[in-house]
A and B are shown apart, each in its own frame.
Chain A
Amino acid sequence: MKASLTLGKVSDFLGLGIFTTLKDLFTGKLEKEDFKNFLRKFIVPLASIFLFLGMWHLGAKSLYNIEAEFKIEKALQDQGQVAADALKACIASGDSSCQPNTLPSPAQVWESFQSLLRDHNIISADKAAFIEKTAALNEKRIAAGKDPIVYTGRPSFVDQIFRSLQTVFAGFFLALLIAVPLGVFIGLSPTLKSAFNWFIQIFKPVSPVVWYLLVFMIVKTVLIGSTEDSSFTISFISVGLCSMWATLVNTAMGVSTVDKDFINVAKVLKLGTFQKIFKVVLPSSLPLIFTGLKITLSVAWMVLIAIELLAQSPGLGLFVWEEFQNGANDSNAKIIVAMFAIGIIGFLLDRIMLSIQNWISFDKQDAI
């Protein structure tokens, strides 16, 4: 009972009917008339996933063949028949030194995913061992007023994900802190609105790359002489500035379109400005503000990869870039793993925002 309840909750949270339908199937609640529903909610998504994997597999295979034939042809022309035969045998044997470099198949991606997890376990174990080994020494160092020794080994894929999440949330909160108050002021005052309108219209479409460069110019000078690594600061500020526009515009719109009846009530009761904003204006524009925040978070996650890549700030973006530069046999597969990680995390972030919105918002029907 408890397990199925949680399953239902998970399914609701994900916005996918699959789990609930599956639960109903096993608990025998599925009626005959629900069969169509079952087909649509369970079989169809499952079938489309398999279709997708199948097409991917076939596509990858044909790309692999094209690449292999090209390689052999080239060897034949450049080095002669013997070299071509050797290469052919090498490719057929599956040896990693001579594999064609192209789109990896689903199986290869799965293999890479598992190897990344193994790698994570090895690195975590290494890190734990290091911390244990240096614990006593660090205590002494701290007592002596010195900086403790920290682990400086290579981050694992999972570490990179958490690093990216840190950056995106730092950027998101920066966007929230700037865009919501500014949006409220702009929404309340037509004067401020005309003062800021050109600013918003011009800067909203600016690309993440340019934002990064702008932030880089400023932060580099501000932090001059500091030994701190500024790449994290630069990337989260850039993420925040890129993504705050949706919240700014939505907040301003929500605030300027508060129900006239509510404003009249506030006027009749002679509420002060502070009370008017916090008791009437903000709560009533909360649904629109949250729609803005949801867009902001998804934009932040999207631009994060590009910005991390430019800023050389650790995270998924850097991971992708390094794998691309690396060119090892499984690099392409790792890039695809990162792609799925980015997609799935982006989806989960969106659902989290939606749940918070549903929880806070007074108008239950409004949230989509």
Chain B
Amino acid sequence: MTEKSITKEIIAKKFPSNEVMLDLKDLKKVYPTPKGDYVVLENLNLQIKKEEFVTIIGHSGCGKTTMLSMIAGLNPISGGNIAVLGKHIKGPGPDRGVIFQSPSLMPWMTSLQNVMLGVNQVFPHASKAQRTDVAKYYLQKVGLEDAFYKRASDLSQGMQQRVGIARAFAIKPKVLLLDEPFGMLDSLTRGELQDILIEIWNKEKITAVMITHDVDEAIFLADRVVMMTSGPKAKIGDILDIDFKRPRTRKSVLEHDDYYKYRKHLIDFLEH
């Protein structure tokens, strides 16, 4: 560990909420095509502070998912860089947990085994009982205390995504990346899962970046909503601070005077 990052760690302990957790600098993504390069993202700069929840909104195909998978390390970077706590990322790793759009559980494993797969990897020195406790704790948190030993393939889509949430939190990542995790669910289940997500998040305060198409979801969950311009050469178009107090309830958010102001701001951006 370099001297600089040690100092940063000390600063992080003293002023947790001002530390930059995730730093995207001049990020660029180019896909070569037979007709020449296709530039998806260009000059994308974004700093996300520790314990901040950021949602990203933008039109389909603008490169949101590309950006997120670059942060996850699953998609190579064409230009610029991404740093977590000042350290440039090299490929994927469990310090950046991902909740995918499809639950991506191993269907032949039980929900407990699915969570354990990550926990075993991150806490190799803990005893088996301790690891099982961690996995069970998070499964309980997402309301699956009765489904530890159910096979993932026997769970409903919504329940599978709950396991996905438990798996992501259980590995205690520095950054949580959510790629439209509720996009495939019906609106009732979506609401339930948003509540569960925000409840766990309030406890764990893991820096989160979430892609969504849903304006209400973006406002309800986020400290900041990042609006991306349409591609090609997408970049950040606008950023909206959401000043609701935490912990939030759906009711208090909906009844807040600023809610419709925020909503109008986002919809105006998306309609232009």
Q: Give the nearest-CB partner of B114 in chain A.
A: A265
Number of interface residues of A (CB under 8 A): 18
- Please report the C-alpha to C-alpha distance between residue A308 and residue B191 in the assembled complex, in whole angstroms: 67
Q: How far does the Cβ of B125 sit from chain A's closest Cβ, in whole Å?
A: 16
Selecting from B27-35, B58-66, B78-86, B89-97, the interface stretch reads B89-97
Which residues of A sit under 8 angstroms from B109, Cβ to Cβ?
A: 283
Q: Is the interface of A mostly helix, strand, loop or mixed?
A: helix
Q: Is the beta-carbon distance between A362 and B153 smaller than 8 angstroms?
A: yes
Which residues of A sit under 8 angstroms from B104, Cβ to Cβ?
A: 259, 261-262, 264-265
Q: Give the nearest-CB partner of A261 in chain B.
A: B104
- Please report the C-alpha to C-alpha distance between residue A211 and residue B80 in the assembled complex, in whole angstroms: 58
Q: Is the beta-carbon distance between B94 and A279 smaller than 8 angstroms?
A: no
Q: Is the interface of B mostly helix, strand, loop or mixed?
A: loop
Q: Is the beta-carbon distance between A362 and B151 smaller than 8 angstroms?
A: yes
Selecting from A73-81, A179-187, A266-274, A329-337, the interface stretch reads A266-274
Q: Is the beta-carbon distance between B97 and A268 smaller than 8 angstroms?
A: yes
A7 within 8 A of B: no
A69 within 8 A of B: no
Which residues of B sit under 8 angstroms from A264, Cβ to Cβ?
A: 72, 74, 92, 98, 100, 104
- Please report the C-alpha to C-alpha distance between residue A261 and residue B181 in the assembled complex, in whole angstroms: 13
A21 within 8 A of B: no
Which residues of B sit under 8 angstroms from A283, Cβ to Cβ?
A: 106, 108-109
Contact indicator per residue, chain B 183-225, by CB within 8 Å of chain A (1) or not (0): 0000000000000000000000000000000000000000000
A280 within 8 A of B: yes
The 22 sampled A-B contact pairs (Cβ below 8 Å) are A259-B104, A261-B102, A262-B104, A264-B74, A264-B104, A265-B98, A267-B92, A268-B73, A268-B74, A268-B94, A268-B96, A268-B98, A269-B121, A270-B92, A270-B93, A270-B94, A271-B117, A271-B121, A280-B106, A283-B109, A362-B107, A362-B151
Which residues does A use to contact B, with CB under 8 Å? 259, 261-262, 264-265, 267-271, 275, 279-280, 283-284, 286, 362-363
Which residues does B use to contact A, with CB under 8 Å? 72-74, 91-94, 96-98, 100, 102, 104, 106-109, 117-118, 121-122, 151, 153, 171
